[in-house]
Amino acid sequence: MKKVLSLAIVFAFVMMVVFAAVPAAAQDTRVGIVLSTGGLGDLSFNDAAYRGLQRAEDELGISFDYIEPADPSEDQTALRRFASRGYDLVIGVGFQMADSLRTVAGEYPDTKFAHVDQYFEDIPDNIVSLNFAEWEGSFLAGALAALTSENGNVGFVGGVDFALIHRFEGGFYQGARYINPDIEIQSRYADDFGDPARGREIALGMIDDGADVIYHAAGGTGSGVFQAAEEEDIYAIGVDSNQNYVAPGHVIASMLKKVDNAVFDTVKSVVEGNYQGGNNLYFTLADGGVDLTSLTEVGQPVLDAHDNGTITDEELETIRQMKENVTSPYADRIAEIKEMIINGEIEVENWGETGRPDNL
């Protein structure tokens, strides 16, 4: 009897070890991410990258650690610590980290690296760079703005005047002109990604000059644009994440930049062993890397905002009615344009590379 019992115990032990070993093998993949200054809570790409890793933790059984550097001098140290501790994949977020990532990647040729939001010239074999075709998504935003504008006058508020934001501006400009060649487009830069008061002033100025739809690519400055839209009862278009629940009824859509999907896919490629370094990847409309939020449905993030009490029942209803009256009539037209961009009938110019025309 005793023998049987001890055999059973041994058997149980063996089974535990065998079964435990299966998820443990998957858990061997460790990912370290260094976020850009600003860190979590930016409602933009830091949060999105974090969401991607959370999803990878749930679905792929990886583990990850993150660092929020206090200033750019810490980037290199943080990346190096992850690499020296044998993390399988080290991710850097934001254009400021590009040089540091290249340096550290040179020191650890056997570690895999990924970078979000910066094109690399002569990209090393152990870096994959994740970029987004913001100009394609912004083209849809521009088209929607031109379709909904009653005054034939739309606005663009940029964060800082440089190549990355020119991609958004260029797409918006071309999209609006595609719908209405005579449309007036106002374009201003706030010189800051975190100054809502400035965003509001700029937006109010544009509204004064006749704009009735304003698109922003200005991070936190954009919340001032939404505020102005609410005060003056005009429409705004959000960016990066689904921002449609902010200023309920006034944000008609958001241009999504799905950093979370890109990060998730990269982690997946490492887990599955088909990571391909030395590549500048572009996520486009075709693969859903950029997109416009649905023009007919209110969308899960808005419902979530309702569930956690950010917006009230009434505000949700306002958003619903806005979708029905303002945007859904154009849903088919926008879907058609999206299809034309994907199959190449419309070619959208990337102002980040061609440069912003001087005579706007």
> Under the rule (CB under 8 A), what is the footprint of another protein?
37, 39, 65, 67-74, 76-78, 80-81, 84, 95-96, 98-99, 107, 118-119, 160-164, 191, 352
Considering the complex, state which of residue 328 and residue 350 has its C-beta at the smaller distance from another protein: 350
CB 337 within 8 A of CB 143: yes
Considering the complex, state which of residue 190 and residue 247 has its C-beta at the smaller distance from another protein: 190
Which residues have CB under 8 Å from 131's CB, separation 6+?
117, 118, 119, 280, 281, 282, 283
CB of 336 to another protein, least distance (A): 32
Considering the complex, state which of residue 98 and residue 225 has its C-beta at the smaller distance from another protein: 98
Considering the complex, state which of residue 120 and residue 330 has its C-beta at the smaller distance from another protein: 120
Query: How far apart are alpha carbons 255 and 235 in whole angstroms?
Result: 14
CB of 263 to another protein, least distance (A): 20
CB 142 within 8 A of CB 278: no
Query: How far apart are alpha carbons 94 and 53 in whole angstroms?
Result: 16
CB of 191 to another protein, least distance (A): 5
264: Cα separation from own chain's centroid: 13
In the block, which residue shows the tokens 């435990």?
20
Burial category of 182 from C-beta neighbours within 10 Å (exposed 0-12, middle 13-18, buried 19 and up): exposed
Query: How far apart are alpha carbons 7 and 88 in whole angstroms?
Result: 39
Considering the complex, state which of residue 160 and residue 303 has its C-beta at the smaller distance from another protein: 160
In the block, which residue shows the tokens 């009653």?
150
Could you tell me where the beta strands, DSSP code E, fall in 101-143?
A: 112-116, 127-132
CB of 27 to another protein, least distance (A): 17
Query: How far apart are alpha carbons 232 and 59 in whole angstroms?
Result: 44
CB of 353 to another protein, least distance (A): 9
CB of 357 to another protein, least distance (A): 16
Considering the complex, state which of residue 106 and residue 329 has its C-beta at the smaller distance from another protein: 106
CB of 74 to another protein, least distance (A): 5
CB 140 within 8 A of CB 338: yes
Classify 325 as helix, strand or coil. Answer: helix
User: Interior CA angle at 55 toward 278 and 237, to 5°?
Assistant: 85
Considering the complex, state which of residue 80 and residue 333 has its C-beta at the smaller distance from another protein: 80
Which residues have CB under 8 Å from 324's CB, separation 6+?
none
Considering the complex, state which of residue 72 and residue 301 has its C-beta at the smaller distance from another protein: 72
Query: How far apart are alpha carbons 27 and 25 in whole angstroms?
Result: 5
CB of 212 to another protein, least distance (A): 29
